[in-house]
Amino acid sequence: MYTDLKNKVAIITGGSKGIGTAVSERFGKEQMKVVVNYHSDEEGAQEAVELIEKAGGKAIAVQADVSTEEGNQALIDAAIKEFGNLDLWVNNAGMENRYETHKLPLEEWEKVTKVNLTGVFLGTKAALNYFLEQDKKGNIINMSSVHEQIPWPTFAHYAASKGGVKLFSESVAMEYAARNIRVNCIGPGAINTPINAKKFEDPEQLKTTTSMVPMQRIGDPSEVAAAAAWLASEESSYVTGITLFVDGGMTLYPAFQGGKG
């Protein structure tokens, strides 16, 4: 637990399931005040709110589409109205779908990049404006992926969006570092969430994915949430512009395991 997080106000996008819910629950344990954003799964968002409150925090659920400027504005308005402040914005919402690139419809490219990359830009912009207007220090965490670094055939649009998140975050981190606004990414590897549910139900696919992880297991969303809590806290006060990979070693070129190559 990080004592400085108590009563800090956070927005988390895409909080109705998966990593977003795990981060929400962890923020609850840190006794934070949390705006849990959801797109369509109101029930999931309410469950996240209950987890936060049961753990000792405060929370509200707010519907918004993070790929729009109005959606992000609605989130900050809700944080100010309900909690009177904002300390941390976590751009977590994301989506993926598989397409061979020569068959990838333009609408799918636009859908994925709009949520994964434009959404991160819009959330970051809204947070920056608030921190600058209030002349206060601020913290932004962007949920990237190991695929900001590892190419992913048939998910080229997803990889492009996460590669964009990395350089966007590094640029913004540098731009606002002197104003005491930190911007970092988390790069999850293979984590057990609804985005992967179908894949991991298939024993063959599960085996294939596990074999690509030096630690030989799939990650738990709470392990990503632990990284978010550290980046949110003052324990990481001198850290900006990084991607903290939470991937069991997936980014370590596991094909070379055992001295192969």
Is residue 17 part of the contact set for ligand NAD (CB under 6 A)?
A: yes
Tell the burial category of 199 from Cβ atoms under 10 Å away from its Cβ (0-12, 13-18, 19+). middle
Residue from the set 8, 9, 12, 18 that interacts with ligand NAD by CB under 6 A: 18
List phi, psi (to 5°) of 250: -60, -30
Q: How far is the first Cα of the chain from the last one, in angstroms, to the nearest whole number?
A: 42
Is residue 19 part of the contact set for ligand NAD (CB under 6 A)?
A: yes
Using DSSP's 3-state secondary structure scheme, residue 192 falls into coil
Residue from the set 46, 50, 60, 65 that interacts with ligand NAD by CB under 6 A: 65
Residue from the set 66, 79, 122, 183 that interacts with ligand NAD by CB under 6 A: 66
Q: How far is the CB of 44 from ligand NAD (least distance, A)?
A: 7
Q: Residue 79 in contact with residue 86, Cβ under 8 Å?
A: yes
Near ligand NAD in 118-177, by CB under 6 A? 143, 145
Report, as residue numbers or ranges, the catalytic residues: 158
By rule CB under 6 A, what string of x and - marks binding of each residue 190-229 to ligand NAD?
xx-xxxx---------------------------------
Segment interacting with ligand NAD, rule: CB under 6 A, options 2-10, 13-21, 225-233, 250-258:
13-21
Segment interacting with ligand NAD, rule: CB under 6 A, options 63-71, 166-174, 198-206, 234-242:
63-71
Output DSSP code: residue 65.
-
Near ligand NAD in 22-51, by CB under 6 A? 37, 39, 41
Nearest to ligand NAD of 60, 180 (CB atom): 60
Distance CA 132, CA 129 (A): 5
28-33-35 Cα angle (round to 5):
100
124-130: which pairs have CB atoms within 8 A and are 24 or more residues apart? 124/89, 124/91, 124/168, 124/169, 124/172, 124/183, 125/72, 126/72, 126/73, 126/75, 126/76, 126/89, 127/11, 127/76, 127/86, 127/89, 128/172, 128/176, 128/181, 130/76, 130/80, 130/86
Q: How far is the CB of 37 from ligand NAD (least distance, A)?
A: 6
Residue from the set 52, 75, 93, 173 that interacts with ligand NAD by CB under 6 A: 93
> Could you list the residues that contact ligand NAD (CB under 6 A)?
13-14, 16-20, 37, 39, 41, 65-67, 92-95, 115, 143, 145, 188, 190-191, 193-196
